[in-house]
């Protein structure tokens, strides 16, 4: 972060869609004229607005350590199928 070298902001999301639903949302977006055609700016807000999104609390699926119970919990970005 500019001017604050010890601070970093991050955003993370995991999105799960059936391919049929995702294709429908993308097709709708392609045909719309009032859109930036941006997944995070157009598709996700539309899914949320129409009640098709569910949030999952970080604390319910984060990585913890039984060896170090006081260590902070975290999520691990696997990035690829091989890393997973």
Cβ contact 75:63 at 8 Å: yes
- Burial class of residue 17, CB neighbours in 10 A (0-12, 13-18, 19+): middle
Give pLDDT tens digits for 29-75: 999 999 999 888 898 899 999 888 887 776 677 777 788 888 887 77
pLDDT at 14: 76
Query: What's the confidence (pLDDT) of residue 60?
Result: 72
pTM of the model: 0.55
Find out whether 44 and 53 touch, Cβ atoms under 8 Å.
yes
What pLDDT does residue 80 have? 66
Residue with the bigger pLDDT between 83 and 14: it is 14
With cut-offs at 50, 70 and 90, classify the pLDDT of residue 81. Answer: low
- Each domain of the chain, given as residue ranges in start order, spans 1-59
Cβ neighbours, 10 Å, residue 43: 19
Closest among 7, 1, 4, 16 to 52, alpha carbons compared: 16
């Amino acid at each position: 972060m500019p001017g604050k070298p010890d601070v970093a902001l991050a955003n993370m999301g995991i999105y799960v869609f059936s391919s049929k639903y995702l294709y429908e949302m993308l097709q709708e977006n392609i045909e719309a004229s009032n859109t930036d055609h941006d997944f995070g700016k157009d598709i996700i807000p539309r899914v949320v607005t129409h009640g098709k999104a569910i949030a999952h609390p970080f604390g319910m699926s984060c990585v913890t350590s039984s060896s170090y119970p006081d260590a902070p919990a975290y999520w691990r970005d696997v990035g690829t199928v091989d890393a997973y």
